[in-house]
Amino acid sequence: AQKVTQAQTEISVVEKEDVTLDCVYETRDTTYYLFWYKQPPSGELVFLIRRNSFDEQNEISGRYSWNFQKSTSSFNFTITASQVVDSAVYFCALSEPSHNTDKLIFGTGTRLQVFP
């Protein structure tokens, strides 16, 4: 069965620290997609990244980087030099393509608090 696990419920760091948010997924499909979304205190869901199962190359975007490892079914997210504005709940999600739909299966989220 498809499942996304974010074992870290809450993480607190001080500004400028690096922090890694863990995501472990379960799927029987060979083709799947992984996503990260950010939910700031205002409540909206902001798309951060999409990665397909055939592309294990790590990605860096500014202070954000993602480490995808199929061998451990993990798609971890690292924020370098964290800032107060990074405080939010971060969700990892999985999509398994099927006929005419792309429902997202979300993890339970990790609440990140960055203190000045």
Residue 36 contacts residue 66 (beta carbons within 8 Å): yes
Amino acid at 76: N
Chosen residue from 27, 76, 82, 95 binding another protein by CB under 8 A: 95
Residue 10 contacts residue 111 (beta carbons within 8 Å): yes
Compute the half-sphere exposure of residue 25: CA atoms within 13 Å on the CB side of its CA: 29
The answer for 81, left when phi > 0, alpha when psi is -120 to 50, beta otherwise, is left
Residue 98 sits in the site that holds another protein (CB under 8 A): yes
Please, which residue, 31 or 83, has the CB nearer to another protein?
A: 31
Residue 25 sits in the site that holds another protein (CB under 8 A): no
Residue 37 sits in the site that holds another protein (CB under 8 A): yes
Chosen residue from 11, 13, 24, 104 binding another protein by CB under 8 A: 104
Question: Considering CB under 8 A, how many residues would be counted as binding another protein?
Answer: 29
Residues that bind another protein (CB under 8 A): 31-33, 35, 37, 42-47, 50, 52, 91, 93, 95, 97-109
